[in-house]
Structure 1
Amino acid sequence: MGGGQGATGGRGAGRGRRSSASGRQTAAAWILTLPFVVLFLAFTAGPVLGSLGMSFTDLRQRDLRTPFAVNGVGFDNYVKALSDETFRKAALNTAYFVLVGVPLTLALALAAAVLLDRGVKRFQSLFKVAYYLPVITSIVAIAVIWRFVLAPESGLLNTVLSWAGIDGPNWLASKTWAMPSLIMMAVWRNFGSAMIIFLAGLQGIPATVEEAGQLDGAGSWQRFRYLIVPLLRPTILFTSVTTGIGYLQFFEEPFVMTQGGPLNSTVSVSMYTYQQFGFGNYGVATAMSYILFVVIAVITFIQFRLLREK
């Protein structure tokens, strides 16, 4: 009996030591994560919740000295944003930019990745760097290059078109061609990032997969369509989500190249929201920001539903 009691006491003491050690580990973990928690609450969660509350008030620039004296207006700011003709125009411009730009970017990125993976063996690293370089290049430097390319009289593109007897337009000053010009620039600037991800996905597919398809008599296109693309579904999902989110928030291209013109034909939702902040319409501007946030969340959810692994 004494031995049984000793064994029971030993097990209880062991559990107590383990519990004490677990408590110390938990305390140490919280101490280590405390700086992040404090910074997250102060600079992320706090401002996000504050801006959400701001979107339901009539806060303007003149109210900054007395921010707690503003009045609640319910959903009036959201109604004003959705009834704003320029905001609706900006939403259509953004939709145009995304619906054309994202498929072009992904298609070009996938084509370049396939060529680098299957066709180009020598100097592959050089091509990777060359394609990725625009991603890390300043938008100001890119704007200088593209202004030279798209200049109406002495631009490189119109010069090449003149050799074929075509009189090129004033690309950035045309309501018809300004947005396609920005899309071309965005695709050129961003496809390198998606290409690197696609290339990693292609190189992660075992060679035996294609060999099995080839033994079954499948041609190159059939192997790519029915074997490679399904295996790339997670990669396609990731690139489409990240590219789509970036394009829905596009701001730098019109801000630097066209200032939203001509006649608001290139103004985006992000740019118009920025302008409203500049005008001091903080309540309406934050409402526009959250409308864009909801749209991004819905589109991302749809992409996950359509492109998830089956």
Structure 2
Amino acid sequence: MPQKTATVGARSYDGPSSGWWFAGPAVAIIAVFFLAPIAASILLSLTDFDIYALADWQNLRFVGLQNYIQLFHTYRFWVALHNTLYFVAIGGPLSVAASLGAALLLESKLTRLKVVWRTVFFAPVVTTLVAVAIVWRYLYHTKYGLFNLALTKLGFEPIDWLGDPHWAMPAVIFLAVWKNFGYNMIIFMAGLQSIPSELYEAAEVDGAGPARRFWHVTLPMLAPTFLFVGVTTIIGFFQLFAEPYVMTQGGPEESTYSLVMLMYEQGFRWWRLGFASAAAMTIFGITLAATLAQIWLQRKSGV
């Protein structure tokens, strides 16, 4: 069957082939900078690639799943996994809740200077993370930090935020939520603006108060937005690295030591690149499983 062509003005375009001309550059970039590194990481994870192999490729050996077996028998892996899951389980919902709360506040008719507040809330997102983490180290200072100053004024004892194993991870979570909630806030605002006002008017006519309108109109209409925000937040929070690396170096007592820190340490401090690649693929697998589980649960609930 001859291929159909579409004529626009004086020019004719082949349907499928012209689409490849437009998509080709993007596909090539994805293949070079995304698919190829993933394939290389998978291959490296099956070898003992290290600094000796960098010097001479003849030192490279295929070890199969040995790196993964060794990883799962490493105590620090389970510590890092526990800390990362703790960070995701607590920080993820807090970040989504803060984003939704800020979006509702900015979309409220009672709020004034919305442009100013939108800029203030979004500013942390575009601020360099390392610079922010350094500033927050001073905010968490035991003697001179603003947080302990506020606690002292309220009559509480100062907290060693970054030196106490029980408080270090909550301190990192607080920073991460503050740093990231502005991005999802913009997405929630777009979702709120897409909800037809007629739905709120009909609910109000039926006698629904603000709480019931939020529960029966806003939340169901934001379900697709929640799915996107939840998935992207989980993916981002599983990549915990810069905050503990700058603020606590994984301490105290490895209470903020994350999976990505384990991967970085093995790959770029000890040059065990094969082992680090196995850690990277394990992180990818855990993140993928958590993401698919969230998608399945939200779709099962009616999203």
- On whether the aligned pair clears a TM of 0.5, the verdict is yes
Gaps of 5+ in 2: none
1:137 counterpart = 2:93: no
One of 71, 83, 87 as aligned partner of 2:77: 87
With over 3 angstroms needed to count, the CA separation of the structure-2 counterparts of 1:206 and 1:31, relative to structure 1, is closer
**Separation in 1 of the partners of 2:4 and 2:95?**
58
One of 282, 296, 300 as aligned partner of 1:305: 296
Q: Which runs of 4+ in 1 moved over 6 A?
A: 21-25
1:263 counterpart = 2:253: yes
One of 114, 138, 145 as aligned partner of 1:148: 138
With over 3 angstroms needed to count, the CA separation of the structure-2 counterparts of 1:281 and 1:216, relative to structure 1, is same
Normalised to the residue count of structure 1, the TM-score between the two structures is 0.88
Q: Which has the larger radius of gyration?
A: 1
The correspondence of residues 143-222 of structure 1 with structure 2, limited to 5 A, is: 143-222=133-212
Match of 1:285 in 2: 276
Stretch of structure 1 that moved more, 154-163 or 118-127: 118-127
Is contact 1:77-1:283 (8 Å) kept? yes
One of 85, 101, 105 as aligned partner of 1:111: 101
Gaps of 5+ in 1: 1-11
**Separation in 2 of the partners of 1:270 and 1:64?**
22
> How far apart are residue 70 of structure 1 and its match?
2.0
Is contact 1:234-1:307 (8 Å) kept? no
Is contact 2:134-2:247 (8 Å) kept? no
1:24-66 C-alpha deviation (Å, 9 max, x unpaired) = 6766655565554544444332222111011011111111133
Residue correspondences, number: 296
Give the AA of the match of 1:283. G
Match of 1:5 in 2: none
With over 3 angstroms needed to count, the CA separation of the structure-2 counterparts of 1:77 and 1:116, relative to structure 1, is same
Normalised to the residue count of structure 2, the TM-score between the two structures is 0.90
Stretch of structure 1 that moved more, 65-74 or 162-171: 65-74
One of 271, 295, 304 as aligned partner of 2:286: 295
Give the AA of the match of 2:298. L
1:136-165 C-alpha deviation (Å, 9 max, x unpaired) = 001122123212211000111111111122
SS state at 2:55 partner: coil
Match of 2:63 in 1: 73
Match of 1:272 in 2: 262
Give the AA of the match of 1:238. F
RMSD, matched Cα = 2.3
Percent identity, aligned pairs only?
38
